[in-house]
Copies of this chain bind each other. A is one copy, B any other.
């Protein structure tokens, strides 16, 4: 059986937050949006429907846990969830907190403009906040 390895493009664009039961949690390095990504640790899966029933449900619960926490923590106006993966052939689920004052509002964040990296202190702070909120080890 093929071993799961995080796709290098996701590794390059994100900071690891920690591991839920099924998924890696990543924070995208774009300071304009609180933007986390779930990556199920399953090799060779590109679509949600390719997961078995137990994994599908686990991903759903992890998505709801993450999304609800982020909406509260970052006082979002709307949560945007997306499974695109046209360029990265590994299943990953975006969770983006949107605000009416954000640069892409009300359009989609995908394809809008290049990421603006965090200052290091802010990135570490946000990772810690997510870790705490999701009950993950530091």
Contacts and interface: CB of A to CB of B under 8 A. Distances in A.
Interface string A45-66: 0111100000011001001100
A103 interface: no
A51 B79 CA distance: 14
Interface residues of A, number: 30
Contact of A83 (B68, B81, B86, B112): B81
Say what secondary structure dominates the interface of chain A.
mixed
A64 B51 CA distance: 10
B110 A78 contact: no
Given A107-B110, A111-B112, A64 B68 contact: no
A71 B47 CA distance: 10
